Amino acid sequence: MLRLPPFAYLGARTVGDALQFMRDHGGDAMLVAGGTDLYPNMKRRQFEPSVLVGLRGIRELGGISGSAESGFAIGSQTTLTRVAEHSGIRDAFPALATAAGLVSSPQLRNMGTIGGNVCVDTRCNYYNQTYQWRKAIGFCMKKDGDICLVAPSSRRCWAVSSSDTAPVLWSLGARVRVHGPGGERVIPIETLYRDDGIDYLAKRPDEILTEIVLPPVNGTRCAYLKLRRRGSFDFPVLGVAVALRIDGDRVLSGRIVLGAVAPQPREAREASALLAGHRLTPELIAAVAEAASKPSKPLDNTDFTHPYRKKMTRVFVTRALRRLAGLPDSPRNDAEVADR
C-alpha cells in the first residue's frame, strides 16, 4: 500500500490558531485544507512535514457571501462542489462555477477547497511519480535531485500550474486575502504567483490564504474552456479563461488567461489589448486567438504533445470568444474534441 509518512495533526478552529501552530513549528509544519493535492504528494514522498496544520475546521472560512452587484467573498475552505453549485456565482461568474465543476471528480470536489485549488502544487511528468519511480530515473531538482529532466540544460524548474480556477480568478480581477505572522494583506491574485515550478507562490509557507474577493460583476461576461485527455476527470492540459466587459456591441476591456502552459497562469496581454474598443467579429477573434497562442509555450512535461497543446491554445481561445459573441464554436474545428 502507498501510505502516508507519519506526522502530528493540529486542527485549527480559528485563523489565529493556525497562525500560532505554524509559528510554533516553523519549517516542519505545512498547511492542509482538503488534502486532495497534499496527501497524494505526501504518499509519493514529495513532502514529509512532521506537523500538519488543518484548516478545514475553521468555520468562518467556509462559505460564500455577497452578490453580483457588490462582488463576492469566498472563504478559502469552501469546497469546490459548493462553488460549482452556488447560484449567485453561476449567474454572475459562470466561468468560475464551470472551472470549479471541472476540477477532478465529484468525490474530490466534495473534499477539495478553492483555497487549496489556488495554491495547488505545480505538476510534471517527472515529478508526479512515486518515490521509487523518481529514484530509478535519478530524481529532478523539484524534489531530491539537482537537474531538470525535461530541459537538462535549464537551471530552473518548468513544472506546470494545473489549477482550473486560478486562470479564471485572474481573468476576473479577483484578489486574495492572506494572513501571516505580520498581519493580513489583500493582493491581486496575479501577484500570488511566480514563474518558477518549485517556488510557485509569492507568499511565505506560513501565510494562510483566507478569502477570495471577486469584484462586482459590472457587465462582465466570462468563459472557461478546459482541454484534458478524459472527459470524466483529468487535470487540465490547457485551460483558457476569458473575461470581457462589453457595452452594446463593443468590448470595453478583455482579459485572456491561460492555464497549464507555464509554472503560473499566463495572461495573454498582447491578445487582450487587441480586444479593447472593438466589436467581437470573427476576424477580430481570429487575430486575438493568433496573438494569444504566442505566450503559450508548453514544454514536453504533461499529457499530449506540446506542439498540439500550443495549437489548441489558438483553437480554444477562438472557441471561448466565439461563444461569448454568440457565434457557433467554429466552422472549421467541429471535429476537434473539447469538454464543453
Partner 1 sequence: MPKTLLRLRVNGEDHDVAAATHKTLLEVLREEMGLTGTKHGCELGECGTCTVLVDGQPVLSCLALPIELEGREVTTVEGMAVGGRLHPLQQAFAELGAAQCGYCTPGILLTARALLAENPKPTRQEIRTALAGNLCRCTGYTKILDAVELAALRSTGGEP
For binding to partner 1 (CB under 8 A), which residues are involved?
1-9, 11, 35-36, 39-40, 43-44, 54, 56-57, 81, 104-108, 110-111, 232-233
**55 touches which of ligand FAD, partner 1, ligand SF4, none (CB within 5 to 8 A by kind)?**
ligand FAD
H-only helix segments in the chain: 15-25, 38-43, 80-85, 87-92, 94-102, 106-111, 114-118, 131-136, 165-171, 269-275, 282-292, 306-324
Which of 150, 209, 289, 320 is in the footprint of ligand FAD by CB under 6 A?
Answer: 209
Q: How much is the CA Rg of the chain, to the nearest whole Å?
A: 20
For ligand SF4, the binding residue among 32, 140, 169, 223 (CB under 6 A) is: 140
Min dist. Cβ of residue 69 to ligand FAD (A):
27
CB-wise, 10 or 147, nearer to ligand FAD?
10
Q: Is 60 helix (H, G, I), strand (E, B) or coil?
A: helix
| Residue nearest to ligand FAD as judged by C-beta position | 116
Would the CA dihedral through 287, 220, 161, 302 be positive or negative?
A: negative
In this structure, which amino acid lies at residue 216?
A: P
Nearer to ligand FAD, 76 or 296 (CB): 76
Binding map of ligand FAD across residues 38-67, x = CB under 6 A, - = no contact: x-x--------------x------------
CB of 270 to ligand SF4, least distance (A): 26
**Residue 106 binds what, of ligand SF4, partner 1, ligand FAD, none (CB under 5 to 8 Å, by partner type)?**
partner 1
Q: How far is the CB of 193 from partner 1 (least distance, A)?
A: 24
55 or 320: CB nearest ligand FAD: 55
Distance CA 236, CA 227 (A): 6
> In this structure, how many other beta carbons lie within 10 angstroms of the beta carbon of residue 226?
24
Q: Which of 74, 65, 60 is nearest to 12 (CA)?
A: 60
H or E segment at 34?
none
C-alpha 55/C-alpha 158 separation (Å) is 29
Beta bridge partners of 242: 223, 256
d(CA 201, CA 230): 28
Binding mask 196-235 toward ligand SF4 (x if CB under 6 A, else -) reads -x--------------------------------------
DSSP3 helix / strand / coil % (the chain, rounded to 5): 30, 25, 45
Looking only at the bridges linking them, the beta strands covering 29-32 and 51-54 are parallel
Q: Which of 149, 242, 285, 289 forms a contact with ligand SF4 (CB under 6 A)?
A: 149
Please report how close the Cβ of residue 157 comes to ligand SF4 at its closest, in angstroms.
Answer: 3
Q: Shortest gap between Cβ of 52 and partner 1 (angstroms)?
A: 9
Can you tell me the distance from the alpha carbon of 270 to that of 273, in angstroms, rounded to the nearest whole number?
Answer: 5
Cα(327)–Cα(287) distance, rounded to whole angstroms? 16
Interface with ligand FAD, residue 84, by CB under 6 A? no
- The residue from 19, 36, 46, 321 that contacts ligand FAD (CB under 6 A) is 36
In whole angstroms, how close is the CB of 32 to ligand SF4 at the nearest point? 22
Confirm or reject binding of residue 171 to ligand FAD (CB under 6 A). Answer: no
> Which grid cell sits at 93?
461568474
Instruction: Identify the three-state secondary structure at position 132.
Output: helix
Q: Cell numbers for 160, please give them.
A: 506546470
Binding site for ligand SF4 (CB under 6 A): 124, 126-127, 140-142, 148-150, 157-159, 197, 301
